[in-house]
Structure 1
Amino acid sequence: MKNILITGANRGLGFALAEQFSQVGFKLLLVVRSVESKQALLSKYPLADVLVCDVTDDHYELSLVNWLENRALDVVINNAGSGTKAPTLESTESFFLKKEFNTNCVAVLSTVKGSLSALKRSSAPLIINISSRRGSLTMQSELAAKGSGCSYSYRVSKAAQNMLSLCLADDLEDFGIRVVSIHPGRLLTKMASKDAHMTPETSAKKLVNLVQSGELKNRDFISLETGKLPW
């Protein structure tokens, strides 16, 4: 049985990913922020292991190391995310950027560092960072986000996460660890874009199929709707 770690697994895409990966036989290791979320997940997935910890806490990385112990991890999905509806310079605040950067970028680094030993125990380890089309500098420069309503803080933090993904891909390929960034599609979630149309369940099924196909390559940046994206 393969093991998968998913952050932000209590709602939205994270919850859908837990459902879909459990259906194809993965052992679930889930990270959530509250005891209530843990209890709700265990009522649905009694065989899952659930860690209660905020991914932005200073002690998160060490908590992850201790929790994983000597287990092997085949897939890590950095799904926990944050967004703020402040799409203009006038409406945005430095606090928003700090909040999104901590969740969407720094916490990804903490998850990877905390799970690295477990990933090295897998025969084909894979890190999936849930990114966004709005993190593409190329698309931003081509005015793809202009008038979209997407916040400064979300775009900047996802662009930073994309750079982190590329740094990790360079560093970890010597260990046989692939690192990919995934835009999950225009999802109907609490952080939905104005053109959202896809359910988290549909997106999760697409990602499961990609993982099982073995087609994901190190340094890929892929939209589950349209295929490869420009960095």
Structure 2
Amino acid sequence: MSSSNSVYFITGTNSGIGLEYVNQLISNPSNFVIATVRDLSKISNDLQKLSESNPKNLKIIELELESQSSIDELDEKLQTIVPNGVIDVFIQNAGIYGNQSSTLTHTDRSSWLQLYQVNSLAPVLIFQKVYPYLQKSEVKKAIFISSLAGSIGSYFPAPIASYGQSKAALNYSVKALSEELRSEGFKIVSIHPGVVVTKMLKATTDTISSGDFQDFIDSTKITTDVSVGQQLKVIDNLTGEQSGKFWNYDGTEAQW
């Protein structure tokens, strides 16, 4: 199934990549999008405008990745809004970079645990809640937005170690889930969205003044519309044989 006549569940949609996912998917009125934000009282103007323009096929719900009670309440919320109890595509986009330099010699325990809680553990716990709705679909696609920062095979020296570890842990879960659910027809992958111009990229570059990593960012950064447009092509064409792999936004395979 292509990116039409589908029900999408997307986390972290208040800005950046998540917002652009909503923007592009909702442009087709045959799609139904369930978008999550951390705090319903702090919805961005851009997401609010999309909601007002698409009241029938865009529903916004609150989901705080650092709160287990918020995750536990997700199923109750979905029961009232999911068309026919079916979700076709799960897109776990929400994540954090952290507020430290993220070198192994300087990351404190609380910052480390927060990164793991939000970037590694919460995505799987959220998937557990959405899983029954995906089971009812003929599509059964689960997309986890990861990062090459979590790649061991293509490791790039940079002060992003604890963030990278949290994404490496996420990638392991994606691989494990793909094997656990392969017999059910699920297609589950990690996607590196590219070096995308977002608030998170600014947080990263604010900790780096110069050097090869900064040069890499400057030479490869792309806009959210380019990233999401390419990612949707990958998602639309995703096959069972591609499940359990790590993909770049442009459809090339990334190294674990």
Give the gaps of 5 or more residues in structure 2: 205-213
The corresponding residue for 2:162 is 153
Aligned-pair CA distance for 1:35 = 1.6
Counterpart in the other structure of 2:128: 113
The amino acid that maps onto 1:208 is: L
The match for 1:2 is 6
Normalising by structure 2, we get a TM-score of 0.82
Equivalence for 2:94: 80
Matched, 1:182 2:194: no
Note closer, same or farther for the CA distance 1:124–1:225 as it changes in structure 2 (3 Å cut): closer
Deviation per CA, 1:156-185, whole angstroms, max 9, x where unpaired?
A: 100000001011111111221111000000
Matched, 1:138 2:153: yes
What is the CA-CA distance between 1:96 and the residue it aligns to? 1.5
- The one of 22, 28, 32 equivalent to 2:33 is 28
Which has the greater radius of gyration?
Answer: 2
Structure 1 residue 42 displacement after superposition: 4.2
**Tell me, what secondary structure is at the counterpart of 2:199?**
coil
Q: Secondary structure at the match of 2:13?
A: coil
1:97 aligns with 2:112: yes
- The residue number in structure 2 matching 1:205 is 229
Contact 2:14 2:44 in 1 (8 A): no
Q: In 1, are the aligned partners of 2:234 and 2:251 still within 8 Å (CA)?
A: no
- Code of the aligned partner of 2:50: K
1:125-181 CA-to-partner distances (Å, cap 9, x unmatched) read 1000000011112122xxxx21x33x2220110000000101111111122111100
**Does 2:64 align with 1:64?**
no
Report sequence identity in percent: 25
In 2, Cα distance between equivalents of 1:6 and 1:56 = 17
Q: Compare 102-111 and 221-230 and name the one that shifted more.
A: 221-230
User: SS in structure 2 opposite 1:81?
Assistant: coil
Change (3 A) 1:174 1:226: closer
- Select between 9-18 and 62-71 the one with higher mean Cα deviation: 62-71
For 1:176 and 1:226, locate their aligned partners in 2 and report how far apart those are by CA, in whole Å: 21
Structure 1 residues without counterparts, runs of 5 or longer: none
| Of 186-195 and 98-107, the range deviating more from structure 2 | 186-195
What's the offset of the Cα at 1:225? Answer: 4.2
Question: TM-score by structure 1 length?
Answer: 0.90
Alignment partners' CA distance in 1, 2:120 and 2:154? 20
Q: Which residue of 2 aligns with 1:127?
A: 142
CA spacing shift, 1:162–1:168, aligned 2, 3 Å? same
Partner of 2:180: 171
Q: Count the aligned residue pairs.
A: 225
Which whole-Å deviations, capped at 9, do the CAs of 1:85-129 have from their partners, x for residues lacking one? 413233311212111111111111111100011000110110000
- Identify which of 64, 73, 77 aligns with 1:54: 64
- What residue number does 2:209 align with? none
